[in-house]
Amino acid sequence: FLGRGDAFRRKVSVELNPGLAPPLSLPPGVGLVHLRGLGDNDTLHFVLCNAGAPALLLVHSNSTRSAVTVDWPEFINSSSAGSLRVEPESSVTYSSALVFTRLWEYDDVNNTADPQKAAESSFYPPYELQNFVWSELNTTLNQSEHTVVLCGGEKTQSFSNGSLCLQVSVFESQGRDEAWPSLLHNANSSQLRVWINGVTPRGNNSRFILEFQSVGDAGFQSRVDMRSSIDDEYTPSIFKVSEWVSSPVNSSSVWGFSQWKPVAYRKARPVFEDATACRHSELVFVNGTPPSAVIQAYFTHNTRIYGLNISFGLAEDPVFYDATKYISWTVLMGLGDPPSDSFSPLIIIIITVGLVTPLVFIILGGVFVCVRKRTSQSTAYEPIN
Amino acid sequence: MADREEHQGLLDGDRDEDEGDKAPSVHLNPICDPNHLLHRILVLIFMCFLGFGSYFCYDNPAALQSQVIQDMNLNTASFMQLYAWYSWPNVVLCFLGGFLLDRVFGIRLGTVIFSLFVLVGQIIFAAGALANHFWLMNVGRFVFGIGGESLAVAQNTYAVNWFKGKELNLVFGLQLSMARLGSTVNMNVIGWVYGRIQMSMGSAGPTTLGITLMIAASTCLFSLICALVLGFLDKRAERILNKEQGKTGEVIKLTDVKDFSVSLWLIFIICVAYYVAIFPFIGLGQVFFIEKFGFTPVQARAINSVVYIISAPASPLLGFLVDKTGRNVMWVMLAVITTLLSHMMLAFTFWNPWIAMSLLGVSYSLLACALWPMVAFVVPEHQLGTAYGFMQSIQNLGLAVMSIAAGSILDVRGYLFLEVFFIACLCMALLAVVLLYLFDYYKEGGLNLSAATRSKRAKPE
pLDDT, tens digit (0-9, with 9 covering 90-100), for B309-362: 888 888 878 888 887 888 889 999 999 999 999 999 999 999 999 999 999 999
| Assembly ipTM | 0.84
Tell me how close the Cα of A223 comes to any Cα of chain B, in angstroms. 23
Distances (CA, A) of B352 to A136, A376, B292, B340, B360: 53, 49, 11, 17, 13
Residue B14 pLDDT level (bands cut at 50, 70, 90): very low
- How many whole angstroms separate alpha carbon B42 and alpha carbon B55? 21
Residue A148: in which H helix or E strand, if any? strand A147-153
Decide if A236 and B410 are in contact by the 8 Å CB cutoff.
Answer: yes
- For residue A135, give the DSSP letter: -
In chain A, residues 177-236 whose CB comes closer than 8 Å to chain B: 228, 230-236
pLDDT, tens digit (0-9, with 9 covering 90-100), for A158-199: 888 889 999 999 999 888 888 888 899 988 999 999 999 999
Give chain A's count of helices (H) and strands (E). 4, 23
Cβ A167 vs Cβ A147: under 8 Å: yes
Residue A1 pLDDT: 40
User: In whole angstroms, how large is the CA radius of gyration of chain B?
Assistant: 22
Nearest chain A alpha carbon to B67: A317
Q: Which fold has domain B251-460?
A: Growth Hormone; Chain: A; (1.20.1250)
Backbone angles phi, psi at B345, to 5 degrees: -60, -45
- How many whole angstroms separate alpha carbon B229 and alpha carbon B235? 10
Residue B251 pLDDT level (bands cut at 50, 70, 90): low
Residue B108 forms beta bridges with which residues?
none
How confident is the prediction for chain A on average, in pLDDT?
A: 87
Domain B31-249 has CATH 1.10.150.80: no
User: In whole angstroms, how large is the CA radius of gyration of chain A?
Assistant: 26
| Cβ of residue B84 closer than 8 Å to a chain A Cβ | no
Cβ A263 vs Cβ A181: under 8 Å: yes
- CATH 1.20.1250.20 maps onto chain B at 31-249, 251-460
pTM of the model: 0.82
Residue A260 pLDDT level (bands cut at 50, 70, 90): very high
| DSSP code string of B84-146 | HHHHHHHHHHHHHHHHIIIIII-HHHHHHHHHHHHHHHHHHHHHHHHTT-HHHHHHHHHHHHH
Residue A3 pLDDT level (bands cut at 50, 70, 90): very low
Decide if A237 and B203 are in contact by the 8 Å CB cutoff.
Answer: no
- How many whole angstroms separate alpha carbon A322 and alpha carbon A208? 11
| Cβ of residue B350 closer than 8 Å to a chain A Cβ | yes
- How many whole angstroms separate alpha carbon B100 and alpha carbon A194? 62
Tell me how close the Cα of B405 comes to any Cα of chain A, in angstroms. 15
Tell me how close the Cα of B402 comes to any Cα of chain A, in angstroms. 17
Tell me how close the Cα of A271 comes to any Cα of chain B, in angstroms. 7
In chain A, residues 26-55 whose CB comes closer than 8 Å to chain B: none
